[in-house]
């Protein structure tokens, strides 16, 4: 689904349409999620509206790992000519054209290096006449330096870069604000629905839990995720995710104690109610969980209990 808000005037807040809500509810009902888990509903209440300086364009790349499609967020302060693009999404011409039609932009920001978020960045930069692409990983940067934690200069909008690794090594979040009006752009660290993959070995569960702790301090701040609907409370969603991950760790530990000898056997026990077409992604998270348990308490040293090394 490609959601494009009206182009006239300043970007304005638009609540999810009844049609969009119905699509979300149907996807939740059939168990679609971005990464495996038993949680397929929202991690919190959806936001009733977006900040008036935020516009959503959704890429037409729906699927079991992307939900309704990748969310491209456009930020522009009222009365300011240049805005910011966050996650231009895949290399889909119609989507990149829709973004470019809302030019000019001072920068294209990347939350992490997965293709469904960054693939179209270079092409978009060219369409916009060389707008810099800024990411934590220098491989994804175009005409600019890699991002690091701290403030980012942007006309009319205060942007704070948060290091939030875990889903991937290079994951960052952006806290954008105009006055007292704030929003957290979370990429795939927090989704609008379901749970995310810890993409082992690039992703790391210990880092992910620490990132969730960091984001849990943003209580009452709107979350603008990489997939799914905006959430009313980023801090509450982060706390929910942390509790879910902690519970999942216990399930993995119990599965090994019960005789699961490989990561695949853990997946079969812990993710038995998840569509088998997603078990390959579940194995990423299981290996991340086993690696984390090895590190934390050495209960499962490499190769013990018949487990494959994670």
Closest C-alpha to 117, from 137, 102, 103: 137
CATH architecture of 18-233: 4-Layer Sandwich (3.60)
Task: Give phi and psi for 156, each to the nearest 5.
Answer: 80, -10
What is the reported pTM?
0.84
Neighbours of 104 (CB within 10 A): 12
Closest CA to 41 of 190, 188, 193: 193
User: CA 214 to CA 240: how far, in whole Å?
Assistant: 13
For residues 195 and 143, what is the distance between their CA atoms, to the nearest angstrom? 34
Q: Which positions ≥6 away from 248 have C-beta within 8 Å? A: 37, 270, 285, 289
pLDDT at 300: 46
Provide the residue ranges of all domains of the chain, joining segments of one domain with +: 18-233, 250-306
168: helix, strand or coil: coil
Here the tokens at position 300 are 């499962």
In this prediction, residue 41 carries a pLDDT of 65
According to the model, what pLDDT value does residue 64 have? 87
Q: What is the CA radius of gyration of the chain?
A: 19
Averages of pLDDT over runs of 10 residues in the chain (310 residues) are 26 31 28 38 88 98 95 97 98 98 98 98 98 98 97 95 98 97 98 94 96 98 98 98 95 95 96 90 94 77 47
Per the listing, tokens 């403030």 go with 151
């Amino acid at each position: 689904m490609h959601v494009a808000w009206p182009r006239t005037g300043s970007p304005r807040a638009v609540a999810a349409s009844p049609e969009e809500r119905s699509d979300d509810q149907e996807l939740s009902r059939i168990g679609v999620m971005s990464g495996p888990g038993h949680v397929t509903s929202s991690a919190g209440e959806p936001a009733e509206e977006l900040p008036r300086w935020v516009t959503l364009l959704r890429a037409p790349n729906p699927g079991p790992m992307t939900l309704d499609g990748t969310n491209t967020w456009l930020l522009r302060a009222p009365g300011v000519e240049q805005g910011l693009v966050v996650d231009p999404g895949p290399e889909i011409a119609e989507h990149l054209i829709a973004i470019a039609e809302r030019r000019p932009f001072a920068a294209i920001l990347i939350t992490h290096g997965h293709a469904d978020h960054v693939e179209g960045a270079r092409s978009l930069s060219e369409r916009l006449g060389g707008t810099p692409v800024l990411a934590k990983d220098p491989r994804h940067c175009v005409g600019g330096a890699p991002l690091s934690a701290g403030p980012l200069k942007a006309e009319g909008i205060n942007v704070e870069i948060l290091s939030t690794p875990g889903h991937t090594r290079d994951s960052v979040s952006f806290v954008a604000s105009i006055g007292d009006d704030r929003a957290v752009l979370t990429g795939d660290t927090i989704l609008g629905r379901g749970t995310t993959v810890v993409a082992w070995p690039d992703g790391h569960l210990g880092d992910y839990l620490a990132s969730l702790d960091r984001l849990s301090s943003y209580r009452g701040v709107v979350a603008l995720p990489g997939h799914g609907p905006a959430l009313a409370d980023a801090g509450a969603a982060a706390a929910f995710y942390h509790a879910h991950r902690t519970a999942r760790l216990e399930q993995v530990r119990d599965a090994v104690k019960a005789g699961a000898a490989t990561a695949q056997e853990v997946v079969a026990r812990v993710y038995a109610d998840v569509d088998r077409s997603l078990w390959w992604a579940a194995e990423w998270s299981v290996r991340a969980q086993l690696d984390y348990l090895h590190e934390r308490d050495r209960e499962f040293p490499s190769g013990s209990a018949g487990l494959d090394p994670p």
